[in-house]
Amino acid sequence: MSMKPKALILHAAGINRDLDAAFALEAAGAEVEIVHVNKLRANPNILRQARILVIPGGFSYADALGAGRLFALDIASFFKDEVSRFVDEGKPVIGICNGFQTLVKAGLLPGRQLFTSDGDERRFTLSNNRNGRFECRWVTIKAEKSPCIWTKGIQEPVVCPVAHGEGRFLASSQAHMDALIAANLVALRYALATGEPAGELWPYNPNGSPYDIAGICNPKGNVLGLMPHPEDNVLTGPAGRSYHGGRQGSGLTLFKNGVRHAIDQGALYG
Amino acid sequence: MEHQSPVHRFTIRELKPGSKSSALIVREARRLGFEGIKAVLRSEIYFVRGKIAPEELGFLGRFLLSDPVTQTCDIHTLPLVPEGEGYAVEVAYHPGVTDPVADEILRSGKELGVSGIQAASTGLRYEIECEKGYTLSSQDLDKLASRLLANPVVQRWALGAVEPAFPGSDTEIPPEAWIPIHTMDEQGLAELNRSRRAALDPEEMRAIRDYFVAQGRACSDVEFEMIAQTWSEHCFHKTFKALIDVENGETGELPSQVDNILKTYIKAATDEIDAPWVISAFKDNAGIIEFDKNFDLSFKVETHNHPSAVEPFGGANTGVGGVIRDVMAVSARPFAVTDVLCFGIPGRGEGTSALSVEQIRLGVVAGVQDYGNKMGIPTLNGSIHYHEKYAANPLVYCGCAGIAPRRAFFSNPRVGDRILVLGGRTGRDGIRGATFSSMTMDGSTMETAGASVQIGAPLVEKKLSELILAARDAGLYTGITDCGAGGLSSAVGEMASELGADVELSEVRLKYPGLAPWEIWLSEAQERMVLAVPPEKLPALAELCDANDVEYCDLGFFTGSSNLVVRFNRKVILDLDCGFLHKGMPRRRMKAVPPSGRGEMQEPRSLPIGKIPGIDELFTAIMGHHAISSKEWAIRRYDHEVQGATRLGPFAGPDQAGPTDAAVAVPLETDLTRGVAISNGFNPRYGEADSYNAAASALDEAVRNAVAVGADPERIAVMDNFCWGDPLKPENLWTLLRAAKACKDAAVAHGTPFVSGKDSFNNEFEGPNGEKIAVPPSLLISAMGIVPELSAVRGSDLKHKDSLLYLIGEFSPFYEASVLMDILEDRPGLAAPGFSDLAPSVYRALHTALKAGLVESCHDLSEGGLGTALAEMCIAGGLGVHIDLQNLSAALKYPARTEGENGGASLDNPAWQALLLFGETNGCLVVEVEQGNSSSFEQHFSNLPFIMIGKVSAAPLLQASAGKKLLALVKIEALKRAYFRESAEILDQAEPSSVLDSQESREGR
């Protein structure tokens, strides 16, 4: 088996940060293939050859009827079983921005129903930013105590851009939100440049997410969804950027974690 | 019959309506005089036609059309029961207007297994809440609807429930019409010209008649419409190619005759410079230059002014979409979008347009946002300018830059190659857009423009752009062009101009049936590209299209004859000689005369007169002036980070608070050692005062900005975009010629070749008293430069306390047409700052200093002069400065008449202080240099003007003194407040009202 784990980047009409994600994963040591949903639909087995699954950012289906909703429908209609198996096997999955919206709306995040009475009903969503508009800016995010394999061991704040209009993470009830937090499924929060909590203060928390939630994971920790774009801050040196007090290239750490996990898994099962 | 299928209506309401969501509508409603309106609640409406089971309806509502966590969904089958109390207005598109959401409902409904869906459409519902006792009549509601909630050009409304409109199901195809043009007299020709809105000259009409007289036959409507479009100002650039007689007056500034502006001035500069790194200039859809040994860059800037005036969202939206296709049409991957926008001044002067300045401004920005973001192309550079003379005629300049492997572009269709149309379907959108763009707007424009409006579908273009790159790499086509103004007529017509073609129009995929053949041929439906494909490559291309969900149709082939033949169901409906079509237009002969000057009455001024407010006060007034204040409210709505290549975006500094001079991108497919700088220069106040100096200033500013971020001054290409009034007015042509001449002079001085350009005329509108108002002569210069070393990208943010500040370049602050003058007086400027002959050497020296690592930060002097540059550097870096004006004042060579005039050149004179700090000059920058590097830095400028003006301070204060005397002390915080005030106000209004971006609010997140 190749030392480089293969990352499958799922592409659908309107997805546009697929190349950014591919660049970041290659930089983190993965071998990358961008696969269009039509191709995966024709041959769902392609997913079995991959050890990392990425749902990248963009405007899948132009965000018609709500961000991520139609991409989620694709996943649910065409390869629900394959993706569920991938998740159940503990392989790393990351959904960024539109990918996060897609994972939540497909019911893959936070994953296991938090209450038995919930049935199939979806209890979480990503809704319009509190200020009602799309916004692009650099933010600081901080990894929280969680089972997430993507943020494992990340102590320093990560700096990267956000670019979205529907990033406010909401639950249908406070009880559901409390259960999510109690289960330590909040993997990333918006922070001040120092790493202190943003306190729901705009623009540090750019979308008004309660509890500064920037990203959540499933209970197993292998699936992460987040609104910010760490894939857009992976370069260092003269080509890299530096905002909020340095932290050039700090987005790369997440992807290195994902790749390392896939390699360890490969060593375990390979 | 289809109408027997039931129509089901889904109304989606928010569980917790956002408190801010209707704030802007309420505010604008109050401005219209409806004081008692308290809140406006918006909900989404979807209509689905078809035989659908009740449980399937529930499923659609719950899983497809609403979000159960935040929304509720009511489902009714039409007709609705009459409504109860309360005021409601519902808005829906006119039939045939592009509605991407409806298309997705149709597609995804089938994906969900609901097979009975036949058609879908969308709408919006506004429920209006009033204060107790306040009532609205139906006239009131109609006024609210037409002014705020709907744009009548593309939408209709109803008080209460709106009836859904589905795309037409006409099966009747109107046949082509035959026009007996070969027998027409002058009057007949004039009438034909008018009734078909052809906007042609009598002489041009006669040339068409004579052609058909020689042919001995009538002309089909398809033929006439195609000739009118091909010969339109928009497509043919008649003014730029005209023979112009110049009446010089005493000045003798221009030759007595100019034969072709484009050749005489613009292309002449490129030829004279003869840069070996220019690969394509003025030949193709975009200009192309070398990036490095592996890649080429392309760049194009277009305008979309008239469409944006009548439908701001759609006009700007398709403006961006169109220029991106120009880059796709040179087989490149788009990596940056630019936008330079000009609006009237909100609250100060409106035209007779039905849309307010504010509606135009917010709609245009939303349109740019929607397309660039959804294409996944960062909007890296741009600016927003305000002038009263843009009130009803905004200028919307949209640019796009692309990258492709070296020499990947070619367009060489061969005889026998198939003609394929890829991408969006064809509808009635944008019919006669090319001729519409060539007319002046008046009060009736909104009514007649309906069919000229285009709405974009960025998703379709995104798929198309990915497909084209794959097809390019697989070598599946021999030629490519985009469908822009003039639609297939223009795209196929140009491709076939040397080769001839035989085209079958019934093969074109339509959005809905019922289009006449000429409408299909002329439609400006968006998101279409035309490819020339060798027959043996067709199967591979078809497979690629299917894999990417891109539609295509095969229209015919290149014949190798001299004629273009178009058929409909095999019958020939157009048969034109390509030579006549493309070269048969009679040459325009035009006249240029110097304007009878406004300036003759008054002398230009060197110094402000009258009372000058304190310098501190001037600082905050200038930072808050619309020419300078932060445009964050718009810029942050654009994704400037997608593609991960933004080395320097629109914001500078660790907190991204200040403006940068230009953008730098490092496309990820390159070796990441060099960058592309993208910048622009533009100033409407200069344009109005002196079009020659304005053009030279714009070019100098664009180059200066690019150099400031690290571009090599020997590797910068530029582009011109002229927006002028009616060219048939000789004064307008005079100012145009002067600007064109300045383009040549400045470009040759800087060694920056023009690689592409565009002109837009008839930018005029009707003022409140029925008078014609032309936009100020408006020339945008865009620049693209190569940054050879990324360590030279330093930004405009101050880096270290105690560093030294230098002013480099020939400092000659100018009062006329400055922002300072705009603040102090109400008269427009009478003159504008000129070109500095030393600028090219100064920029070269700066570049070597940047590469040597001697520069910590630098920022150019432009609008608002030295004081503004310093303030912006402080805001960006979070540090202060302390400067001394003594050396500067002493070094300044100034016209002798300044002596004695309003206090003269003395640092005790507030007018002189103001001039030094806020006067505007070309060719200068402020540079931050660490103390230890100062002597090495100064060596770079040994024979060039430079002055050490002060130091960076840790204290967040801007201090200016004359020796020991303190002239100004302003807190950076105060400058920041002034600089961000307008942006903060706009941001506070939250979501714009529906008419501004109804599409965006439903699908553009």
Q: Which residues of B47-77 are buried (b: 16+ CB within 10 A; e: fewer)?
A: bbbbebeeebbebbbbbbbbbbbbbebebee
Instruction: Measure in Å the smallest separation between the Cα of B861 and chain A Cα atoms.
Output: 25
**Integer Cα distance of B950 and B560 in angstroms:** 70
Q: Which of A19, A61, A241 sits opposite B104 (nearest CB)?
A: A61
State the pLDDT at residue B569: 94
State the pLDDT at residue B446: 45
Residue of A32, A133, A248 to mutate, testing the B interface (most B Cβ within 10 Å of its Cβ): A133
Whether A163 sits inside 8 A of B462 (CB atoms) is no
Q: Which residues of A are catalytic?
A: 97, 229, 231
Whether B64 sits inside 8 A of A234 (CB atoms) is no
Q: Which of B123, B138, B169 is the last residue before a domain boundary?
A: B169
Instruction: State the burial class of residue B583 (Cβ atoms within 10 Å of its Cβ: 0-12, 13-18, 19+).
Output: exposed
Instruction: Measure in Å the smallest separation between the Cα of A260 and chain B Cα atoms.
Output: 23
Enumerate the β-bridge partners of residue B50.
B117
Contacts with B636 from chain A: Cβ below 8 Å: 135-137
Whether B548 sits inside 8 A of A243 (CB atoms) is no
Q: Which of B21, B108, B636 sits opposite A132 (nearest CB)?
A: B21
Q: Which domain holds residue A69?
A: 6-269
User: Which residue type does A190 have?
Assistant: Y
For chain A, say whether B990 makes contact (Cβ under 8 Å): yes
Whether A70 sits inside 8 A of B108 (CB atoms) is yes
For chain A, say whether B69 makes contact (Cβ under 8 Å): yes
Could you give the residue ranges of the DSSP H alpha helices within B709-854? 730-750, 819-824, 839-851
State the pLDDT at residue B687: 96
The band of B953, judged by pLDDT with boundaries at 50, 70 and 90, is very high
Q: Which domain holds residue B112?
A: 2-169
**Mean pLDDT of all residues in chain A?**
92
Q: How far is CA B524 from CA A268, B410, B527, in A?
A: 59, 25, 9
State the pLDDT at residue B508: 95
Reading the block at residue A270, the tokens are: 């390979």
- Which DSSP state fits A197? B
The band of B1002, judged by pLDDT with boundaries at 50, 70 and 90, is very low
Whether A136 sits inside 8 A of B100 (CB atoms) is no
Q: Which residue has the higher pLDDT, B25 or B533?
A: B533
User: Which residue type does B597 have?
Assistant: G
Domain annotation covers residue B617: yes
The band of B26, judged by pLDDT with boundaries at 50, 70 and 90, is confident
State the pLDDT at residue B343: 97
Q: Which of B169, B187, B219 is the last residue before a domain boundary?
A: B169
A-B C-beta contacts closer than 8 Å: 177
Instruction: Measure in Å the smallest separation between the Cα of B675 and chain A Cα atoms.
Output: 9
Enumerate residues 459 to 478 of chain B having a beta carbon within 8 A of any beta carbon in chain A.
459, 462-463
Enumerate residues 611 to 650 of chain B having a beta carbon within 8 A of any beta carbon in chain A.
636-644, 646-647
Instruction: Measure in Å the smallest separation between the Cα of A51 and chain B Cα atoms.
Output: 24
**Integer Cα distance of B678 and B399 in angstroms:** 10
For chain A, say whether B374 makes contact (Cβ under 8 Å): yes
State the pLDDT at residue B444: 47
State the pLDDT at residue B204: 95
Domain annotation covers residue B523: no
Domain annotation covers residue B488: no
pLDDT higher than 90, residue B694 = yes
What pLDDT, in 10s, does the model give residues A171-191? 999 999 999 999 999 999 999
Scanning every residue of chain A, which has its alpha carbon at the shortest distance from the alpha carbon of B549? Answer: A13
State the pLDDT at residue B596: 78
Complex-level ipTM: 0.96
Q: How far is CA B176 from CA B110, B173, B516, in A?
A: 37, 9, 7
CATH at A247: 3.40.50.880
Per the annotation, the verdict on B237 as an active-site residue is: no
Whether B647 sits inside 8 A of A133 (CB atoms) is no
The band of B996, judged by pLDDT with boundaries at 50, 70 and 90, is very low
Q: Is residue B961 helix, strand or coil?
A: strand
Whether A16 sits inside 8 A of B646 (CB atoms) is no
Residue holding tokens 């990333």? A188
Counting the structural domains of chain A, the total is: 1
Instruction: Measure in Å the smallest separation between the Cα of A129 and chain B Cα atoms.
Output: 9
For chain A, say whether B110 makes contact (Cβ under 8 Å): no
pLDDT higher than 50, residue B785 = yes
Domain annotation covers residue A121: yes
Residue of A15, A34, A65 to mutate, testing the B interface (most B Cβ within 10 Å of its Cβ): A65
What pLDDT, in 10s, does the model give residues B719-739? 999 999 999 999 999 999 999
Contacts with A125 from chain B: Cβ below 8 Å: 67, 69-70
What pLDDT, in 10s, does the model give residues A225-240? 999 999 999 999 999 9
Per-residue pLDDT averaged across B291-316, rounded?
Answer: 94
- In this structure, the number of other CB atoms found within 10 A of the CB of residue B486 comes to 28
For chain A, say whether B35 makes contact (Cβ under 8 Å): no
Instruction: Measure in Å the smallest separation between the Cα of B166 and chain A Cα atoms.
Output: 18
Per-residue pLDDT averaged across B501-517, rounded?
Answer: 91
State the pLDDT at residue B540: 98
Check B3, B76, B182, B234 and give the catalytic one: B234
Per-residue pLDDT averaged across B873-892, rounded?
Answer: 94
Residue of A16, A120, A123 to mutate, testing the B interface (most B Cβ within 10 Å of its Cβ): A16
The band of A106, judged by pLDDT with boundaries at 50, 70 and 90, is very high
Q: Is residue B511 helix, strand or coil?
A: coil
Whether A14 sits inside 8 A of B789 (CB atoms) is no
Which of B277, B319, B284, B316 is closest to B299 using CA atoms?
B284
Domain annotation covers residue A1: no
Domain annotation covers residue A49: yes
**Mean pLDDT of all residues in chain B?**
90
CATH at B866: 3.90.650.10
State the pLDDT at residue B733: 95
DSSP letters for B9-71: EEEEEESS--TTTTHHHHHHHHHTT-TTEEEEEEEEEEEEEE---HHHHHHIIIIII--TTTE
**Integer Cα distance of B437 and A206 in angstroms:** 40
For chain A, say whether B551 makes contact (Cβ under 8 Å): no
Domain annotation covers residue B492: no
Whether B459 sits inside 8 A of A14 (CB atoms) is yes
Q: Which of B69, B108, B654 sits opposite A243 (nearest CB)?
A: B654
Q: Which of A62, A133, A231 sits opposite B637 (nearest CB)?
A: A133
Counting the structural domains of chain B, the total is: 2
Per-residue pLDDT averaged across B962-991, rounded?
Answer: 88
Q: Which of B70, B459, B547 sits opposite A62 (nearest CB)?
A: B459
What pLDDT, in 10s, does the model give residues B449-486? 445 567 789 999 999 999 999 999 999 999 999 998 88
Enumerate residues 1 to 20 of chain B having a beta carbon within 8 A of any beta carbon in chain A.
18, 20
State the pLDDT at residue B100: 85
Reading the block at residue B4, the tokens are: 């027997």
Enumerate residues 216 to 275 of chain B having a beta carbon within 8 A of any beta carbon in chain A.
none
Per-residue pLDDT averaged across B375-400, rounded?
Answer: 96
Scanning every residue of chain A, which has its alpha carbon at the shortest distance from the alpha carbon of B546? Answer: A38
Instruction: State the burial class of residue B562 (Cβ atoms within 10 Å of its Cβ: 0-12, 13-18, 19+).
Output: middle
Q: Which residue has the higher pLDDT, A245 or B999?
A: A245
Whether B100 sits inside 8 A of A23 (CB atoms) is no
Domain annotation covers residue B261: no
**Integer Cα distance of B142 and B150 in angstroms:** 10
pLDDT higher than 60, residue B253 = yes
Q: Which of A16, A23, A124 sits opposite B69 (nearest CB)?
A: A124
Q: Which residue has the higher pLDDT, B777 or B41?
A: B777
Q: What percent of chain B has pLDDT over 90?
A: 73
For the ranges A46-60, B699-713, B887-901, the lowest mean pLDDT is seen at B887-901
Q: Which of B141, B169, B197 is the last residue before a domain boundary?
A: B169
pLDDT higher than 60, residue B218 = yes
Residue of B10, B639, B646 to mutate, testing the A interface (most A Cβ within 10 Å of its Cβ): B639
Domain annotation covers residue A85: yes
Domain annotation covers residue B743: no
Q: Which residue has the higher pLDDT, B798 or B172?
A: B798
Scanning every residue of chain B, which has its alpha carbon at the shortest distance from the alpha carbon of A167? Answer: B1005
Q: Would you state the torsion angle of the CA atoms of residues B634, B637, B641, B647, taken in this order, to the nearest 10 degrees? A: 10
Whether B68 sits inside 8 A of A69 (CB atoms) is no
